[in-house]
Amino acid sequence: MTTEAKPAQAAEPAEPRIGLLRQIAHGELGAVRVVVLLGVIWLIFQSQNDRFLSAVNLTNLMLQIAAVGTVSVGVVLVLLLGEIDLSVGAVSGLAAAVTAVLSVKHGWLPELAIVAGLTVGLVIGLFYGLMVTFFGIPSFVVTLAGLLGWQGALLYVLGDTGTVNLPESTITDLTNTFFADSVGWAIAAGCIAAFITVELLERRRRQAAGLPVGPMASFLARAVVVAGGLIAATAILNSDRGLPLAAVILIGFCGLFAFITKRTRFGRHIFAVGGNAEAARRAGIRINRIKITVFALGSMMAAAGGILAASRLLAVNQSSGGSDFLLLAIAGPVIAGTSLFGGRGSVWHALLGALVIGSISNGMDLLGLDSDVKYMITGAVLLAAVTLDAVTRQQRQQAGRAA
């Protein structure tokens, strides 16, 4: 009896380390991996240019990623279903054009023009959802057709001028408004309090349902990391122009849809459909309704991102939503750990991925690298992320079969 107990006691300390390594290998701690990657990227660019981590450049970075990060929020929702939307760039450009033309050329109130632009994205998403569900057309094909069609619609809406400059209004204020220091600290405190409250309520709910909850030390560690990050970010931004409204909008969207996907029945149904559509159907989940709603939300978020991009650039033109916008919007969440195969990911990956992609782009701009080098590096990062996603998926499948 004694000789059997000793090996068991000796093996117990090693189990948590094995479990942690297994979680990392299976992509379950993707956020930690991305934060470490982001830190390495920042250190590399800071060593090459000491302006990279300055308050001015970090504020510019937040403004640069607001648009693509907002689009990525919708991309994450679509990817969770195991679907893809290749037209988010074109939709963002078209929605921005509709907003600008209605406001500048037709005299609409800026607020109504913004609502009209968002409505354009919503209707396009509903169309995609209907085509995918009722006609069974792969989302890849439907959205690829949309990529071409909406680019043509963008040119039609802009007309002969080709460019619409935005005067100072509510539209331009979206990315040109900075909060006072006291307001920035109040927003940071509110975010910290909201995070702690939601986490504690979730722990209480799970305990009441008899479900396992993580150790309190783990919760405290997450709270300290979130609070520390928000405090540091607010202090840095306040030392420049202040907390940008665009950053608040992006973080607000991430928080809202993170709550929806993690804390509501609708969100659980999204993961169920993305994980195994047939099993979800047999469980009584209305798959078609879920897909139509997600595509509508995804395209509406693309429209919101396009309006933010127009606000920052103070204009809409024929290239709005073009170039590498689509690549960046999809690459960000994938790099942060959202699976292209569906059923795994987090809306917060939109923010983390946008930070990674935006930091690489911003750093290369500071170093004055040519466009050809920038495209190759960005493409290589995306390929590495997709490869890692495929490898971790295979490892989870092998672990499942072994179990």
Q: Looking at per-residue confidence, does 257 or 370 come out higher?
A: 257
pLDDT band at 14 (very low <50, low <70, confident <90, very high): very low
Question: Is residue 282 pLDDT above 90, yes or no?
Answer: yes
Q: Looking at per-residue confidence, does 371 or 235 come out higher?
A: 235
Question: Is residue 390 pLDDT above 80, yes or no?
Answer: no
Residue type, 334: V
pLDDT band at 399 (very low <50, low <70, confident <90, very high): low
**In the chain, pLDDT over 70 holds for what percent of residues?**
90
Question: Is residue 372 pLDDT above 90, yes or no?
Answer: no
pLDDT band at 210 (very low <50, low <70, confident <90, very high): confident
Question: Is residue 394 pLDDT above 70, yes or no?
Answer: yes
* Res 18: pLDDT: 41
pLDDT band at 335 (very low <50, low <70, confident <90, very high): confident
pLDDT band at 30 (very low <50, low <70, confident <90, very high): low
* Res 19: pLDDT: 46
CA dihedral sign of residues 88, 128, 94, 122: negative
Tokens 């309006």: give the residue.
307
* Res 401: pLDDT: 67
pLDDT band at 17 (very low <50, low <70, confident <90, very high): very low
Which whole number is the average pLDDT over 187-197?
94
Q: Looking at per-residue confidence, does 15 or 123 come out higher?
A: 123
